[in-house]
Structure 1
Amino acid sequence: MTPRLDWLARQMQYSNTFASWIHQQFHYEYAGQPLPDWQREFAEGQDNGDWKCLIALDHDELLGGAALARADLAHRPDLGPWLACVFVTPQARGKGLAERLIEGICAQAKASGETRIYLHTQDQSDYYARRGWVMLERFRAWDKDQWLMARDL
């Protein structure tokens, strides 16, 4: 069965789990933010639009998600919205699920009247470039080289 996509705002029982996955996966970005604080911010972001998250479910099992973020890079407050928090569980990878989530976020941004969406990544620039994202610049953050990328909607 193909996993179904839904907005986390309608499935809030998964919010803390997904937020903890993101906190762990991108630990360098959250070094100064304790997990409970991030979980609260992420949950509130489902209502206030800061972290509008699309999740993938197989029956009642959470497989991953992606967020449409209002702001995701402190040194570039001029840019947005952002594709952020892209994560798929290891057992669900390799089946196109991340791509479905990313396309869902892009479709939501476009439906909201946006004409461009941004992301930053340290190690997935080739993945995104193959899917129509353009590299804008390289920068260093969290002691790591990063790519700033954009996609016209």
Structure 2
Amino acid sequence: MQCDIILQRLRADDPNAEIVAGWTFESWGHLHPGLTLEEAIERFKAECGQGGVPSIFVAMQGETPVGTASLIADDMSIRREFTPWLASVFVVPEWRGQGIASALVRRIEAEAATHGFERFYLYTPDQQALYRRLGWQALESLEYRGETVTVMSRQLGL
């Protein structure tokens, strides 16, 4: 990761919160039919916690956000027994391939571990290789909201 990238907790009143919420809505809004951008922004801001679950982190290059990742209680309505979740890992396309996603995932892992979680989860349609490299293990493949996804978990503290 470039040395001038800083990871920081995103606050709901941060001027970048709406930009970052827009990324996640554009990337995954189709998984929530009927959800408007305005509703998505409000939900997103509600997940900007002070620590633990929920928390959102943003990768900053100077004053510019270039990536994000979240730690949330529930990301998959059909797997409510799984909690918490790594969610919404996104890096602006021109910043990809520089280790930013990996750094964001590691930051979320540290946040989960600090708050006493021993295991947490994610689902992805297409980034299994990235998460496997970072120590995640596939649990199952399934159809979720019109996409084939892999549910993965990570044991913390290993």
Percent identity at matched positions?
30
Tell me if structure 1 keeps the 8 A contact 2:49–2:56: no
Residue in 2 that maps onto 1:67: 70
Residue in 1 that maps onto 2:81: 78
1:15 pairs with one of 12, 17, 27: 17
Tell me if structure 1 keeps the 8 A contact 2:4–2:62: no
| Amino acid aligned to 2:143 | R
Counterparts of 2:155 and 2:53 in 1: how far apart (Å)?
Answer: 21
2:148 pairs with one of 135, 145, 150: 145
Higher helix proportion:
1
Counterparts of 1:57 and 1:4 in 2: how far apart (Å)?
Answer: 5
Runs of 4+ in structure 1 deviating by more than 6 angstroms, as ranges, are none
1:42 aligns with 2:40: no
1:97 aligns with 2:68: no
Residue in 2 that maps onto 1:130: 133
Stretches of structure 2 that go unaligned for 5 or more consecutive residues are none
TM-score (norm 1): 0.94
How far residue 47 of structure 1 moved from its aligned partner, in angstroms, is 3.6
Residue in 2 that maps onto 1:108: 111
TM-score (norm 2): 0.91
| Amino acid aligned to 1:46 | C
Q: Residue 123 of structure 2: SS of its match in structure 1? A: strand
Q: CA RMSD of the aligned region, Å?
A: 1.6
| Amino acid aligned to 1:100 | A
**1:96-152 deviation per Cα after TM superposition (whole angstroms, max 9, x unaligned):** 000000000000000000001100000111221122100001110121111000000
Counterparts of 1:117 and 1:134 in 2: how far apart (Å)?
Answer: 11
**1:24-66 deviation per Cα after TM superposition (whole angstroms, max 9, x unaligned):** 0113213221110010011012148664101011110110110
- 138-147 vs 2-11, which moves further: 2-11
